[in-house]
Structure 1
């Protein structure tokens, strides 16, 4: 078979894709390409076969081949029998070789973009919040007793996929770009990793590791985003968590390093991801002559950022608290280039598929200062990449068209442009204008509700629906519980992903909308518009950092000075001198609350 002919032109599907960012190390470049069926497969079904598989992969790479594959977390005892893991269970979704590498003669070009196929995944949490809290209590006990300093605790999400593995991978890659991504098809399972974390980059005798430890959510505004980043950078808890793992990796790396060559050139660097800020540090060394890939794994695997410290004790506690094998998640996924240069990620943000069954782990590092509420929220932030990729969505703007004039058109266009930049959607300003102008020409008179949609590929559509005049006064009901999605990007940006709002839409006769509030007891917005509260003779509207959409009407009245931002709590509703429902579509409508909080 001639490997210089791309498989897509031979009728053979591309089976494996890699998109590894440059690490910044000397000689490192972005690796982006595709592979067909492997010419040879190296697989370890037992612990005693893991090191020989790594030796064989390294030898073949040095002979001029590409090797792409993974090592499962449960392979750890192959390098150190004191490392505790679950035994692989053939009935479990994580069952498979402990190590697997496909061998290829050549990396082929990244495939040309194809029309997007819809892919959906319905995810179910693998752990209840009560169980999560019990596990944190046990970890805190172990920390207090001096058994561990930190434990990386995780749990799986389970899902069913509608669509192809490759389409899901591309959706995941759009949701979590710029890291160390791989889509590996072994024939039995697919590994879809879009991990932002570098495990190690090893070329010649230079070794770079970049542990990622320390997390903060992204902000609702540029100012809040920078404030959250600054708070992460200054956080004593997050820095302590990071430096614990840096010290562990320095110690691990010293096993294969030349004397006095281990150093930490960069500490506490912030990396911006679409849904979170992450803190990373670089640890470097020069490896001793004769060091093999298996030696590197014996020194470093699993990465300390996904175990905790000390590693042996942390993994023992993980084995006791986590009910099932982690699988490829928290193991290593990587590429060996012709000549032997090796780059592996730490496969967080990683989905494995067996048939239509999907599995993805989510976790965080638990230290003495960790609280169950904050860690649970961190897990929600970390799974945001799954929420983006698991259901298709379009960007949405709803405008009023009155007698041939679009109300606040420039502001709606600007807000959609910001959303497109955030989600990585293609944006063509002229195409948007042409779409809206055509609709306006078709509806020169009357009052219309215009629904403008934009796909990921930048295709815009617009529809107009006859709209009655806004009512003079409306009744609102208070949400019965805190709005769990208040910190979601699908709140901060307007899209067709609205199930979290629809679930709280009013059903009682005469109720216009539902007033939402967050877990801190702060008022946020309604499901279809913003809220204004009259207090002390001033109209106030909740601040964006409370978790709400920056409504176009809201921004208009803020600029006019009719509104001011404030943090408003449930108790403030009792003292309110007036309420108003506000949005660009319907304007300013006096409101009353049906029930008191």
Structure 2
């Protein structure tokens, strides 16, 4: 279990002058994660920004954010995948690179919007290029299957990064992404040099009224060309032994993780193997719910759950070591957590899949994509799944929003 003392270093806190939009979030309410499409939260002019650039700053940074929220502020930000060793040193990742491990902006209030604010600016994206050839991806799938055969892992979420040149208005790109892929857990964060554009459909966890809920996603199928074909693909996904086994492994992992911070006997699975439909794909999702133990804090929740099992695999420690060996670069915000905290112990974080990270200094866009690999996986099938999940960004080249 994570404990920030005695080895944590004070976080880096800056006071921010008034500026442009810092955060836009549309997250389902913690009290009802399956409710109708929520409204947008617009947060601007942060009074402070809390960051962590080293592992020993992460714990104290989370504590500072939670304390600020307890005093009445609102927080929005991200934790990168590479922050994982701060919560458990046995979790191995790549070094984090230039991006902060953690970034949260603190606000005195927020506005609610029915739709995204309009923009008359343009953006342009060059061709998306993967960080390795298909043959390299296939070799990784083969190696993962070998590790499964040897009993070192049961499932691995193997990913790759797509990169493209970017220029123009990042908020216009986010608007285009949001309209192409409307989801329950969308977020735009302006972190200065770094911009996070997340249209994730996956809830990492939400907390409200002492209850914690997770909704892992595992299992994907492309949309059909006709209503009949579409319905057939939903039925096939729902019945697929491979996809159900993949989903159930992660549900079991999250049940175990939640048990570390929950009241004994309260962990339940009220929904299992449900299929959700989005513009480019169908995906299988389940729900795990529990009652938090009294006085459990944010750092303890992250210590029990982070990174989400759906983007690591199982068992988590061994599998993350394998991910470190097979993936050539850090994941960054992708597969970490993006979310907000409100006064009154309400918090919601997504799993930032379907997420573009912009480096405004270099003029580049990065999009992570991957899938769960089991013994039944094939290199061809896994690469096809990657292409399906990348469809939402591959179609965005230029845009003007109004």
Structure-2 residue corresponding to 1:305: 310
For residue 153 of structure 1, the aligned residue among 149, 158, 162 is 158
Structure-2 residue corresponding to 1:60: 68
Question: Runs (4+) of structure 1 moved beyond 6 Å?
Answer: 26-29
CA contact (8 A) 1:168 1:390 kept: no
> How many pairs are equivalent?
381
For residue 36 of structure 1, the aligned residue among 10, 30, 44 is 44
Please say which structure displays the higher CA radius of gyration.
1
2:264 matches 1:259: yes
Query: CA–CA distance in 1 between the matches of 2:112 and 2:216?
Result: 30
For residue 100 of structure 1, the aligned residue among 98, 103, 107 is 103
Structure-2 residue corresponding to 1:119: 123
2:245 matches 1:237: no
For residue 196 of structure 2, the aligned residue among 188, 191, 195 is 191
For residue 250 of structure 1, the aligned residue among 242, 250, 255 is 255
Structure-1 residue corresponding to 2:7: none
CA contact (8 A) 2:39 2:112 kept: no
For residue 26 of structure 2, the aligned residue among 3, 12, 19 is 19
Structure-1 residue corresponding to 2:369: 362
2:395 matches 1:388: yes
Query: CA–CA distance in 2 between the matches of 1:125 and 1:297?
Result: 30
Alpha-carbon deviation of 1:274?
A: 0.8
Alpha-carbon deviation of 1:27?
A: 11
Structure-2 residue corresponding to 1:170: 175
Structure 1: which 5+ residue stretches go unaligned? 1-9, 90-94, 394-455, 458-597
Query: CA–CA distance in 1 between the matches of 2:399 and 2:321?
Result: 40
Structure-2 residue corresponding to 1:130: 135
Q: From the superposition, tell whether residues 285 and 158 of structure 1 become closer, same or farther in structure 2 (CA, over 3 Å).
A: same
Alpha-carbon deviation of 1:20?
A: 1.3
Give 3-state SS (helix, strand or coil) of 1:314's partner.
Answer: helix
2:190 matches 1:182: no
CA contact (8 A) 2:119 2:172 kept: no
Query: CA–CA distance in 1 between the matches of 2:105 and 2:259?
Result: 30
Alpha-carbon deviation of 1:22?
A: 3.6
What's the RMSD between the two structures over aligned residues? 2.0
CA contact (8 A) 2:276 2:284 kept: yes
Structure-2 residue corresponding to 1:292: 297
Structure-1 residue corresponding to 2:383: 376
Q: Deviations over 1:88-141 (max 9, x none)?
A: 23xxxxx22111100000012437743543322121122211001110111000
CA contact (8 A) 1:216 1:378 kept: yes
Q: From the superposition, tell whether residues 109 and 205 of structure 1 become closer, same or farther in structure 2 (CA, over 3 Å).
A: closer
Normalised by the length of structure 1, the TM-score is 0.62
2:353 matches 1:340: no
Query: CA–CA distance in 2 between the matches of 1:285 and 1:370?
Result: 32
Query: CA–CA distance in 1 between the matches of 2:242 and 2:118?
Result: 45
Structure-2 residue corresponding to 1:223: 228
Query: CA–CA distance in 1 between the matches of 2:102 and 2:305?
Result: 16
Query: CA–CA distance in 2 between the matches of 1:27 and 1:161?
Result: 34
Structure 2: which 5+ residue stretches go unaligned? 1-16
Q: From the superposition, tell whether residues 237 and 112 of structure 1 become closer, same or farther in structure 2 (CA, over 3 Å).
A: closer
2:58 matches 1:50: yes
Structure-1 residue corresponding to 2:10: none
Which region of structure 1 is more displaced relative to structure 2, 194-203 or 53-62? 53-62
CA contact (8 A) 1:175 1:389 kept: no
Query: CA–CA distance in 2 between the matches of 1:341 and 1:153?
Result: 32
